[in-house]
Structure 1
Amino acid sequence: MRSLLSDLILQRLNGISAALPGTLNKRVYQALQQAIFDGSISPGSRLPASRDLAKELDISRNTVLAAYEQLQAEGYIQTRTGSGTFVTADLPKDGVIADKTATQCSPVRSHVTLSRRGSQLLTRTGVASHQWGAFMPGVPDVTQFPHDIWRKLQNRLSRRLHPEFLTYSRHGGCPPLQQALADYLRVARSVDCTPDQILITAGTHQALDLLAKMLCDPGDVAWIEEPSYWGIRNVLSVNGVETHPVEVDENGMNPPESAPESRAPKLICVTPSHHYPLGSVMSLARRQKILAMAQQQGSWIVEDDYDSEFRYSGSPIPALQGLSSDAPVIYIGTFSKTLYPAMRISYVVLPRPLASRLKIAHSELYRGGNGLTQLTLAEFISDGHYAAHIRRMRLIYGKRRSALTRLIEQELGPEFVCENSNAGLHLILSLPDAIDDVALSAELEQKNVLTRPLSAYYLRPAPRRGLLLGYGCVPEEDIGPAFAHIVDCLKRRLQRQGATRHAEKVKTEPDANLPDPA
């Protein structure tokens, strides 16, 4: 005949079995824990012997013993030699029970105060709620990644993985990856470096964060391109660095002839091979000017070479870093555009005077890791798979860019195509000044068309309007239907704004059901 305690536990077990399936000993533990917490088993009560309870419940004694051991380890019960097992008189107040409805939640803070820098960061953030789909800029076609090749390499390497690659990195990254990158960059980007100058980071943001912390003091100045990627501004600003926008034209950043000695920049951040977002290429004269200024002012040039592999005509543009020996250039590259963003592997080519100290700082602040991924990537590069993947993707992206450019010219007119650099993973749809590109981008997002307003990339009031259209992650057959939403929304706005001069240039006739101009 079962005891009242056995009946109680059976009843609890049935409820837990339905709501929280799991191992039997875990359910027995949960049933006893609930009964103790809600007072069904009072503090100080004696529990049945494990053998007796197991017999009454018709389960294994080991199951009951496991539940008792867990309860004892968490302080709910205690064993007295020669007397038996008892519920603890003073129960723990921070216990966790399976039935969340049986606990009382502690009050949650209604107001949380962030730091001034933290609050400013949140007001300037540009992270989108969606990171995939037409026409999200800066995103490659991750569906084309050669998973089979990668998996074979990784499986083979994992079977004989040295413990060195499973612990914290002591070298600023995986040495085979540093060697593979030095060899690749020397040929593909004309970067002059040795493996010991390369630091592997978890993305470009981490690299910039390290540079801001180690090379700048709060209040120091950094020159950034105007317009530029807001992520650079945010990383610098949150570290207390004052960002000074420098205008970009068709020849790249156009720096002033000189800067006041007291306000000379510690960092000069540029994208010389393919400006983001306008697409211009920095001329040789500008490169030499900026190098000379950096040498004279004691500045460091931060060269972000984010997508230089994707140039669809002509020869690749050599990196600024390789223009002169011992140039004060810190070169940053990434695999986010060539492979996939979630890999979170970027690399920094550091000038020799900085290399050892910044590697130590990186290890102290962030701790290196992902040894197996880095080792796999090293072989992926060394075996030629990386170069082959880039060649294949260059053809795919080139076709998509051409298709999108043709659509813009056919549907809207050639004046809507911004400077065509014929490179990268996005182009700019130029808009009339009367069009609010921020509002247009928000409207398109409601139709699942993801664009970026050009004006958001300016730190000062934007002198021009436009939409960044990323074609990297859009199959060619999907470009037309997605672009049709842009044409429809834009034509409506052109009419509402009374921009008749531009509306007349639109090649297609307005639909009859469009509203009259305001």
Structure 2
Amino acid sequence: MTNPALTNLSPLDPTSTEPIYRQIYWRFRRAICEGVLVPGERIPAARALAKELGLARGTIDTAYSLLAAEGYIQSRGQAGTVVAEGVNVRTGSARTEQPSSSPTAASIRHKAPVLPFQMALPALDAFPRKIWAQIGARCVRATQIPDMAAPSAKGLESLRNAIATYLQVARGITCQPSQVFVTTGYRNTLGLIVHALLNPGDQILVEDPGYPPTRQLLEHLHLQLAPVPVDQDGMQVAQGVSQTPNARAAVVTPAHQSPLCVSLSLPRRLELLEWAARRQAWIIEDDYDGEYRYVSRPLPALKSLDRDGRVLYAGTFSKVLFPGIRLAYLVVPPGQVERFERISQTFFGGCPELTQAIVATFMTDGHFARHIQRMRKLYGERREATVRGLKKVLGDHIHIDAQPGGMHLNLRLAQPQSDLELVERLLQAGIYAEPLSECCIASPTLCGLMLGFANIDSQAAAEQLGKRILALI
């Protein structure tokens, strides 16, 4: 091997049920985590290692690809493959990470590490896990035989009550628990709406730039997308309805437009509502992170202005709690409740009621509201620290858009280049980013990076990450 330190790695076991490529993966991962291999240190070329171990080249490539995808190694072209900078090295034995015939709960649930600037992630380090665990244990102990039956297609009644109460207080939405449907995420919510209210071939207004998964799901369900430009006041409603007069629905993110984070102005909100009432069309309000506004109080939801029952309000727990919970909710107009109940029973199987019970208790005990208040303050601080750190290091190389709220920054590049290629280079260096260009449909293509800041805990951390970005721009 090219590195003498690799002679200290654990040997491969041909009799193990663990595939050879996984054994190689664990050898390198343990060596990196224990400091046997340090950041910047070169590892053997795949061809050389395959020859030394007497294995197929593809076996080594598979192991290396897995290590690279998780941010442990990175390729430097002709300079070879090295241990990635910024990998957390810990002391002590990594034995608990080595798979065995009797895997622990931690090894069964192992996931790739969270990368810096990862999008759609709240501050996981600040989540009240102890309180959550206590409530979870309480709900498990309280489980009765009826609770173990198939879940309701609409959702647990206690959770729907809690959601309706919360929306009235926090988002200005007057609704009954019967109007609330619990889903397994935004995509599930959007699919439910389409199955209930729209037909293949229907035209639907979407923001441009907009949220790519919305576009992908609607196209998959055979709807015709009509992209509508977005400016500093949000979707240009007048242009959209004049160009597509027969549209059956519109999908909007009025609180913080995705991805630009601008807010839909009041005149345009009223214009959109008037269009929906006149054309008997539907408005799908995706309020994915409306709680997190830093320049003033959170804006009331578009649904709070709806007097004609044309707005379907989609919320989620992924941003305010954590994505792994896989819970979201939908508020439908009173006249559509029965239809949505039928569609839910036909197409969707409901959500695990134990998880719903934990969330309901978390809300009714007051932890939910307190958590959001703490996170709003924390995110405001982390956003400012991240902006200061990046600007200090990157200076004139970037411009960061001014945004009233949200959980990510839009970083524009002063020097024209492919944001897709830059995102790929950053990922190889262990830094997450999403390209703005992928959000565009028909509008002039934007070039820049979307960076989640919720898990960047200090200006110093942002500066260190900025230095790594600077080296790749």
TM bracket (short chain): 0.7 to 0.9
What does 1:12-411 align with in structure 2 at a 5 Å threshold?
132-170=114-152, 172-256=154-238, 259=241, 264-411=246-393
Provide the rounded CA distance (Å) in 2 between the counterparts of 1:146 and 1:286: 38
Corresponding position of 1:65: none
1:470 aligned partner, one-letter code: G
Provide the rounded CA distance (Å) in 1 between the counterparts of 2:129 and 2:386: 28
Secondary structure in 2 matching 1:246: strand
User: Are the counterparts in 2 of residues 132 and 473 from structure 1 also a CA contact under 8 Å?
Assistant: no
Q: Which moved more, 1:252-261 or 1:331-340?
A: 252-261
1:479 aligned partner, one-letter code: A
User: Are the counterparts in 1 of residues 181 and 329 from structure 2 also a CA contact under 8 Å?
Assistant: yes
2:462 aligned partner, one-letter code: I
Secondary structure in 1 matching 2:204: strand
Corresponding position of 2:469: 486
Q: Which runs of 5+ in 2 are unaligned?
A: 1-14, 18-110
Secondary structure in 1 matching 2:131: helix
User: Are the counterparts in 2 of residues 133 and 474 from structure 1 also a CA contact under 8 Å?
Assistant: no
Query: What CA deviation, in whole Å up to 9, does each residue of 1:217-241 have, x standing for no partner?
Result: 1111111101111100111111111
Secondary structure in 1 matching 2:389: helix
Query: What CA deviation, in whole Å up to 9, does each residue of 1:7-32 have, x standing for no partner?
Result: xxxxxxxxxxx868xxxxxxxxxxxx
Provide the rounded CA distance (Å) in 2 between the counterparts of 1:433 and 1:190: 44
User: Are the counterparts in 2 of residues 279 and 419 from structure 1 also a CA contact under 8 Å?
Assistant: no
Provide the rounded CA distance (Å) in 2 between the counterparts of 1:157 and 1:366: 24
CA pair 338-258 structure 1, distance change in 2 beyond 3 A: closer
Query: What CA deviation, in whole Å up to 9, does each residue of 1:394-417 have, x standing for no partner?
Result: 222222110121133333447933
Query: What CA deviation, in whole Å up to 9, does each residue of 1:63-94 have, x standing for no partner?
Result: xxxxxxxxxxxxxxxxxxxxxxxxxxxxxxxx
User: Are the counterparts in 1 of residues 182 and 351 from structure 2 also a CA contact under 8 Å?
Assistant: no
User: Are the counterparts in 1 of residues 383 and 453 from structure 2 also a CA contact under 8 Å?
Assistant: yes
Q: TM-score, normalised by structure 1?
A: 0.67
CA pair 314-263 structure 1, distance change in 2 beyond 3 A: closer
Q: Which moved more, 1:427-436 or 1:210-219?
A: 427-436
Q: Which runs of 5+ in 1 are unaligned?
A: 1-17, 21-128, 491-518
Identical aligned pairs, as a percentage? 33
CA pair 437-395 structure 1, distance change in 2 beyond 3 A: same
Secondary structure in 1 matching 2:164: helix
1:427 aligned partner, one-letter code: L
2:234 aligned partner, one-letter code: G
2:461 aligned partner, one-letter code: D
Q: Which moved more, 1:154-163 or 1:321-330?
A: 154-163
- Aligned Cα RMSD in Å? 2.3
Alignment pair present for 1:427 and 2:409? yes
CA pair 408-474 structure 1, distance change in 2 beyond 3 A: closer
CA pair 422-256 structure 1, distance change in 2 beyond 3 A: closer
Q: How far off is 1:345 after superposition?
A: 0.3
Q: How far off is 1:443 after superposition?
A: 1.2
Provide the rounded CA distance (Å) in 2 between the counterparts of 1:286 and 1:385: 35
Provide the rounded CA distance (Å) in 2 between the counterparts of 1:19 and 1:408: 47
Provide the rounded CA distance (Å) in 2 between the counterparts of 1:409 and 1:262: 42
Q: How far off is 1:257 after superposition?
A: 5.0
Alignment pair present for 1:458 and 2:433? no
The structure number with the bigger radius of gyration is 1
Aligned length: 366
Provide the rounded CA distance (Å) in 2 between the counterparts of 1:258 and 1:339: 34
Q: TM-score, normalised by structure 2?
A: 0.73
Secondary structure in 1 matching 2:167: helix
Query: What CA deviation, in whole Å up to 9, does each residue of 1:314-373 have, x standing for no partner?
Result: 111100000133331000000101111010000000011112211221122121131111
CA pair 262-393 structure 1, distance change in 2 beyond 3 A: closer
Within the candidate set 411, 414, 419, 1:437 is matched to 419
